[in-house]
């Protein structure tokens, strides 16, 4: 798949088939993630794969409960309270696999490094016929003492990117994008443009295919 096509077509998938993901495909995702750029080429990431349904269920339950405790202080708290208050809502959307990208917490740019590895992994998932979604709701609990133990990580680690992986139940619809705000300094500004103006065919499509 062309890389620009992959960037345009990637979606956050929140509805998965129950089919298990072959270990070989998960390894290909991890291999792609490991080719991400990293500060000083430290490649600090660590990958934890969870396919045990019971453990994934326990993590989902604990993470959901922790988020609910602090939901009142969150932006869009009403929306999140409605979603998380549903006893049937699973924060992992019943995906068959969880990939957590982590690194030592004290690294100066380790969060950014892991985030870039996560994007590589999600683009690779698309190319492999899989869907993925970064589950921010899981991060707080995974970084608790119990959460790190559940992942088999030492206490000095930080879980940066919890990604659920699986086969999408349906094709994701197009998603409109906001116009990028551009402050162009130096050569390259198209004649007749004002700063922030988007020119079709120059800046690309504003709607995902």
40: Cβ contacts below 8 Å, ≥ 6 apart = none
- 5-23 pLDDT, tens per residue? 999 999 999 999 999 999 9
- pLDDT reading at 72 higher than 90: no
Answer yes or no: do 65 and 104 share one domain.
Answer: yes
Answer yes or no: do 162 and 180 share one domain.
Answer: no
In terms of Cβ atoms closer than 10 Å to its own Cβ (0-12, 13-18, 19+), residue 4 is exposed
Answer yes or no: do 8 and 91 share one domain.
Answer: yes
DSSP sequence for 120-136: HHHHHHHHTT-EEEE-G
Answer yes or no: do 144 and 196 share one domain.
Answer: no
Answer yes or no: do 131 and 53 share one domain.
Answer: yes
Q: 209: pLDDT confidence band, cut at 50, 70 and 90?
A: very low
- 20-43 pLDDT, tens per residue? 999 999 999 999 999 999 999 999
Are residues 122 and 163 in contact, defined by beta-carbon separation less than 8 angstroms? yes
Answer yes or no: do 10 and 47 share one domain.
Answer: yes
| Total count of domains within the chain | 2
Answer yes or no: do 54 and 101 share one domain.
Answer: yes
Give the rounded distance of the alpha carbon of 151 from its chain centre: 18
In terms of Cβ atoms closer than 10 Å to its own Cβ (0-12, 13-18, 19+), residue 200 is exposed
Q: 78: pLDDT confidence band, cut at 50, 70 and 90?
A: confident
Question: Regarding beta strands 157-166 and 97-104, do their DSSP bridges make them parallel or antiparallel, or are they unpaired?
Answer: antiparallel
Answer yes or no: do 185 and 147 share one domain.
Answer: no
How many Cα atoms sit within 13 Å of 115 on the Cβ side? 6
Q: Is residue 41 left, alpha or beta, with left meaning phi > 0 and alpha meaning psi from -120 to 50?
A: left
Domain limits for position 207: 175-209
Answer yes or no: do 82 and 125 share one domain.
Answer: yes
Q: 184: pLDDT confidence band, cut at 50, 70 and 90?
A: confident
**pTM summary value:** 0.87
- pLDDT reading at 201 higher than 50: no
Q: What is the CATH number of the domain that holds 43?
A: 3.40.109.10
Answer yes or no: do 180 and 146 share one domain.
Answer: no
Answer yes or no: do 73 and 150 share one domain.
Answer: yes
Answer yes or no: do 138 and 70 share one domain.
Answer: yes
Sign of the CA dihedral running 95, 96, 101, 104 = positive
């Amino acid at each position: 798949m062309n890389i620009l096509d992959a960037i345009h077509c990637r979606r956050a998938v929140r509805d998965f088939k129950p089919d298990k993901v072959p270990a070989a495909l998960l390894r290909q995702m991890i291999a792609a993630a490991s080719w991400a750029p990293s500060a000083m080429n430290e490649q600090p990431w660590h990958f934890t794969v969870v396919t045990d349904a019971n453990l994934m269920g326990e993590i989902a339950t604990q993470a959901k409960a922790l988020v609910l405790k602090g939901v009142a202080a969150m932006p869009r708290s009403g929306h999140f309270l409605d979603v998380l208050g549903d006893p049937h809502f699973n924060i992992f959307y019943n995906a068959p696999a969880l990939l957590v990208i982590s690194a030592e917490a004290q690294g100066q740019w380790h969060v950014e490094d892991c985030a870039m590895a996560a994007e590589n992994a999600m683009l690779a998932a698309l190319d492999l016929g899989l869907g993925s979604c970064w589950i921010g709701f899981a991060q707080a609990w995974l970084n608790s003492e119990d959460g790190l133990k559940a992942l088999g990580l030492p206490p000095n680690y930080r879980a940066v990117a919890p990604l659920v992986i699986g086969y999408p139940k349906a094709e994701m619809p197009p998603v409109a994008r906001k116009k990028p705000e551009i402050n162009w300094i130096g050569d390259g500004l198209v004649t007749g443009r004002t700063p922030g103006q988007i020119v079709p065919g120059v800046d690309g499509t504003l709607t995902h295919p």
